[in-house]
Structure 1
Amino acid sequence: MSIEAKLAELGIILPQAAAPVASYQAVVVTGNMAFLSGQLPFVDGQLVTGKLGADVSLETGQQAARACGLMILAQLKAAGLLEQVEQVVKLGGFVASTPDFTDQPKVVNGCSDLMAEVFGDAGKHARSAVGVPVLPLDAAVEVDAIVALRPH
């Protein structure tokens, strides 16, 4: 089954791939690896902002991380790479949070679970989930990715 068909079966509609907001590329491919820049969480066109442990709930944080994952998929699609994904190798999750908030891994599960849902075993990956004091545009979560591609 193609990834596009899997997304349709799951009822997932990808957002429009976001344009870079600074001097970087959204996706860089070298050899059979795609490196995706950090993606921010847009839900219904609105950026999810704030800090976990203060004004953002765990559930909202998980939804934000899932939205980052949807944007990762959208970037892969925009680059013509979505159907070439062989393995999601690594996700890097950054969670804007208060110093006493320690559930960053639970937040980033929102993105990790999406990758497994869409790609099955090929969506299971290594990962980092770290708390940071602030993210660009006051985003609540940011996730980057490294993906192995099938030869085309």
Structure 2
Amino acid sequence: MTPEEKARELGLEFTELSQTYLNLCIKSGNQLITSGHVSDIKGKLGDDVTVEQGYAAARECAVKILNSVRSTHGTLDGLKVIKLFGCVNSTPDFIEQHLVINGISDLMHEIFGKTGDGYHARSALGFAALPTGVAVEVEAVFEIKES
């Protein structure tokens, strides 16, 4: 099953994006590099947001990233996930950022495969604050594979 087919099977819906203040996904050579995509879920992990809610927030970011990548590239097919950079709005004593960012990694594994094209490098870091109080922000790098 192709990534496009898998995304449809999972019920993901993609919309056409219009130009905004910043480029949400830019093509450079054979790479697609995204801006940070934020969750709709707001709050701080270790305070008013649970790990499960943070996981859902990271998955929201993944869907938004996939929408931006697809809008730029025209399809999810022919891509390899290279790197994910996850930022988690956290209290100083919260240490489970990796479990939160699994929300994006797990979706990438579902769509692109846990090995091969979905097997990616990743960072999961805690931040004292994120823009507008969002729980999670993620950026990504994809490789456009040669046909």
TM-score, with length taken from structure 1: 0.87
Letter in 1 for 2:26: V
- Are positions 1:29 and 2:27 aligned together? yes
Instruction: Kindly indicate whether the alpha-carbon contact (under 8 Å) linking 2:59 and 2:107 is maintained by their aligned counterparts in 1.
Output: yes
Letter in 1 for 2:99: K
Equivalence for 2:37:
39
Structure 1 residues 5 and 136: alpha-carbon distance in aligned structure 2, compared to 1, 3 A threshold: same
Equivalence for 2:133:
138
Equivalence for 1:44:
none
Structure 1 residues 85 and 136: alpha-carbon distance in aligned structure 2, compared to 1, 3 A threshold: farther
Structure 1 residues 147 and 131: alpha-carbon distance in aligned structure 2, compared to 1, 3 A threshold: same
SS of residue matched to 1:61: helix
Report deviation, 1:4.
Answer: 2.4
SS of residue matched to 2:34: strand
Alignment root-mean-square deviation, CA = 1.9
* Of 120, 128, 143, the match for 1:125: 120
Equivalence for 2:10:
10
Letter in 2 for 1:117: E
Aligned residue-pair number:
145
Name structure 1 gaps, 5 residues minimum: 42-46
Instruction: Kindly indicate whether the alpha-carbon contact (under 8 Å) linking 2:26 and 2:72 is maintained by their aligned counterparts in 1.
Output: no
CA distance in 1, matches of 2:92, 2:74: 38
Structure 1 residues 15 and 113: alpha-carbon distance in aligned structure 2, compared to 1, 3 A threshold: farther
CA displacement, residues 17-39 of structure 1 (integer Å, 9 cap, x when unaligned): 5865xx53111111101111110
CA distance in 2, matches of 1:151, 1:70: 24
% identity of equivalent residues: 41
Instruction: Kindly indicate whether the alpha-carbon contact (under 8 Å) linking 1:52 and 1:97 is maintained by their aligned counterparts in 2.
Output: yes
Letter in 1 for 2:30: N
- After the TM superposition, which segments of 4 or more aligned residues of structure 1 sit over 6 Å from their partners? none
CA distance in 2, matches of 1:29, 1:16: 17
